[in-house]
A and B are shown apart, each in its own frame.
Chain A
C-alpha cells in the first residue's frame, strides 16, 4: 500500500471533515465500540489486573524475542509446518509468491490481515497473475470499492449501508436486479453465498495471526465471521503472515489475551471463533490444508527493539486506541495515509516508514491521553509520539518558521527578567473589553474562534505592584 505523506495529511483530513456521509458513520462509530469496551471491562473485575499481566507477558517476550521465535520455528516445523523468515516486505511477497508458484495457484482466499496490507500483497499478487479474494465482509466490500481499510479491526467502518448496497448491485450482476438488499442481514446473506464459491475454488488460503504460540508452534486468529477458518482449512495450503512481535510463550499466556483483546476491541467477552492452527492436516484428520506456512515479517520491527519505541511492539492490534481517539473520531482512518491509523499508527508508522515520511502523524495529537488509558497492554502512546517529535525536531524536519518561533519564545521563557516586561506589554496589547475576532499571526486560532481578551495587566506586574484582589 502506497504512503500518503505530510502534505496530503492536511488535505485528506480537511476532506474527511467535510465528508458528510463519513461524518455520520464516525458519529455512530464513536458511540459503538468505545461504549461496549467500558461495559465489557466493567463486567470483569480482574480486567485491570489482566492488562498488567498482558503487558508483562509481552515485555518478557520482547526481551527474549530471539529465543521465543526460534522456539516457535522449531515447534512449528515439528508439527509439519514451514517457517519463512522475511526481513522486508519484498522478502515476504516473494516468499508467498514462491509458494503460489510451486502449487500452481491462481486464486487465494484471504482472511483479514493488516500485515498483508502492510506489504501490499493483493496488488503484488495481481501483477503476478494470482487473484486474491478478501473474505472478511468488511475487507470484501473494500476490495469491491477499490479502497483500503480505514480501521484495523472494522476495516469498512467508514462505509455507509447504502454504499454497501450500491457496491453489491454493481459487482454481483448475475443476481436479480430487483432483489431487496437494504439491511445488514440481506447484505450478509448475499456475501455469504458469493464468498462460499471463493473458498471452494481457492488454491491457497492466507490469514494473519493475532498470536503465535512458541510452545506449540501454533498460529491463532480471533474472528467473528468464520471466513478465516474457511480460508485456512479448505484450500490446499494455509499461509500465515505475521509480524515477529506476535509470538507469546504458552497457551496459558494466550488465555490472558483471550480475555483482554476482544473486550478491548469490540467489547465482546470472546470473539465468535478462536482458532488455533498447528501444522498441516495429519493422517486421519477430516479436513485441513496439505501445507502450512508461517511467513514471519520483520520490516522494521527489530529496529524498534531496545530503544525508546520498543513498548510499541507490545501492540496487539485491538484498535481500542483509535476507537477512543478524538482525532480519529473527526478524520477517520484514511486521512492517516497508510495501513495503521489512529494513535497506534501515529507511533508505529514512523517506526516502519521513517520519521521523514511520517513525522506529521505523531504531531496530529492533542496528547489527551485517552489512548493510553484504554490500551490493554498499557503502551505509553503519547510519550512515544513525543519521542517522535523529538527525533523530528533534532533532525530539523519541523517547519523552520515554527522552530524559530519556538526558539525565540524559549529564549524569553528561560530569562524571567526579560520575560516579565514582555508579558506585561503583551497583556496590555491584548487587553480590551471584548474578545478578539482577528489577531496577526494567529489565523489558525482566530479563523474559527475568538481569542479571549486579556485583562489588561499581567499577573506578575500586578502582584509586584502589591495589588490584591
Chain B
C-alpha cells in the first residue's frame, strides 16, 4: 500500500460537493492543490453529484438512499475519500450507514479536508502568504459530528502574514441549516444577523470556515449589510488562492 511504503503516493478521491461544483469551483481546485502538496494523487470520480442531505434531512429516505447508493458506487475502490465540507463529509461518514443499513465500510474511508490533511497526512507544508486578520467560524456538522476544531486552525497558523482573531460565539450555528434557511427565513435571518454582528465586532478583515453552505449564508448577509469583510473557504487560503480568486 502507498501509505505503508511511503514511495507511491496515496490515491485520494475528491468528493467536491454540489455547492463547490455549482458556485465555487475554486474550493475544489484548492482542495486538489492541497492534497497534492500533501503527497496525494487526486481522482475526481465523474459519477458524483450531491451527498443527498437535502432529501435525508427532509425526511425523504427513499431518495436519499438512492443518492447514497449512487455515491458509494461512484467511490468504490478508493481507500481515502476527501470532502471540503464538514456537513457533506458528516453525511457520508456518519449517516450513510443509517440510511443504507450497511455502508460496506464506506463511512470510515471518508474525511473532511482539514482533518484529512492534519490527522491522516500530518501535513506541515502550507506554503501560503496572506497578510490579513481573519476569524474562523466552526460549522456545526464538522464540529459536532466529526470533531473538526483544531485542524483548520493548526493549518491556518502556518499561513504567512495571517493572524487569527477570536470570533465571539464561533461555535454557534449561523442559521443556514440546509432547507431551514428558506423554510424559516425569519429565524434564519435573525441567527445570521447575530453572526454578522459577531464577525463585525471582532474587527477582522476576513471570515473563514470549512463549509460552503454556511459561508454563502454568512457572506450573503454581510454583503447585504454592506460589510467589506472578505468571506472565504479555508481551503482557498491554505492553497494560496486568496490573491487569485475574489472572495465569495
Contact = CB atoms under 8 A, between A and B. Distances in A.
Contact of A326 (B49, B175, B183): B175
A370 to B, nearest CB: 7
A455 interface: yes
Interface stretch (A39-47, A226-234, A256-264, A384-392): A384-392
A10 interface: yes
A10 B219 contact: no
Given A444-B183, A450-B220, A460-B16, A416 B63 contact: no
A468 B30 CA distance: 10
B63 A406 contact: yes
Contacts, number: 208
B29 to A, nearest CB: 4
Given A426-B22, A469-B26, A410 B55 contact: yes
Contacts of B26: 455, 469
B141 A457 contact: no
B157 interface: no
B175 A445 contact: no
A313 to B, nearest CB: 21
B177 A410 contact: no
Contacts of A14: 186
- The B interface, classified by DSSP as helix, strand, loop or mixed, is helix
B60 A393 contact: yes
A412 B49 contact: yes
A467 to B, nearest CB: 8
Contact of B187 (A327, A403, A412): A327
Given A394-B59, A412-B49, A449-B217, A365 B180 contact: yes
B58 A445 contact: no
Interface in A426-461: 426-427, 430, 435, 442, 444-445, 447-455, 457-460
A17 B57 CA distance: 25
Contact of B21 (A365, A393, A460): A460
A367 B144 CA distance: 10
Given A423-B22, A447-B185, A469-B241, A398 B58 contact: yes
B144 A389 contact: no
A102 interface: no
Contacts of A453: 23
A367 B87 CA distance: 11
B7 interface: no
B12 interface: no
A445 B184 CA distance: 10
A407 B183 CA distance: 17
A407 to B, nearest CB: 7
Contacts of A394: 59
Contacts of A392: 59
Contacts of A445: 181-182, 185, 220
A370 B140 CA distance: 8
Contacts of A455: 23-26, 245
A326 B177 CA distance: 11
B223 interface: yes
A403 B59 CA distance: 10
B50 interface: yes
Nearest to B182: A444
Nearest to A369: B144
Contacts of A2: none
B247 to A, nearest CB: 9
B48 interface: yes
A430 B59 contact: no
Tell which of B30, B49, B140, B185 has the most Cβ of chain A within 10 Å: B49
Contacts of B32: 468
A331 B49 contact: no
A398 B59 CA distance: 10
Given A14-B186, A398-B58, A468 B29 contact: yes
A17 B190 contact: yes
Given A368-B177, A410-B63, A444-B185, A454 B22 contact: yes
Contacts of B189: 447-449
A459 B25 contact: yes
Contacts of B244: 469
A168 interface: no
B25 A458 contact: yes
A185 interface: no
B56 A459 contact: no
A414 interface: yes
A249 B217 CA distance: 48
Nearest to A359: B59
Contacts of B47: 416
Interface string B185-196: 111111110000
B121 interface: no
B190 A330 contact: yes
Interface in B157-176: 171-173, 175-176
B59 A17 contact: no
Contact of A442 (B70, B141, B182): B182
Nearest to B176: A366
Contacts of B229: none
A13 B20 contact: no
A41 to B, nearest CB: 15
Interface string B121-160: 0000000000000000000110111000000000000000
A367 B220 CA distance: 21
A17 B33 contact: no
Contacts of A402: 58, 179, 183
B2 to A, nearest CB: 22
Tell which of B29, B181, B189, B190 has the most Cβ of chain A within 10 Å: B190
A462 interface: yes
A448 to B, nearest CB: 4
Interface in A321-337: 326-327, 330-331
Given A366-B180, A402-B58, A423-B22, 7 more contacts: A17-B187, A17-B190, A366-B176, A369-B143, A442-B182, A454-B22, A459-B28
18 contacts: A326-B191, A364-B184, A365-B177, A372-B144, A386-B59, A389-B57, A389-B58, A393-B58, A410-B63, A413-B18, A416-B49, A423-B22, A423-B49, A426-B22, A427-B23, A444-B185, A447-B189, A449-B223
Interface of A: 10, 13-14, 17, 326-327, 330-331, 363-370, 372-373, 386, 388-394, 398, 402-403, 406-407, 409-410, 412-414, 416, 419-420, 423, 426-427, 430, 435, 442, 444-445, 447-455, 457-460, 462-464, 468-469
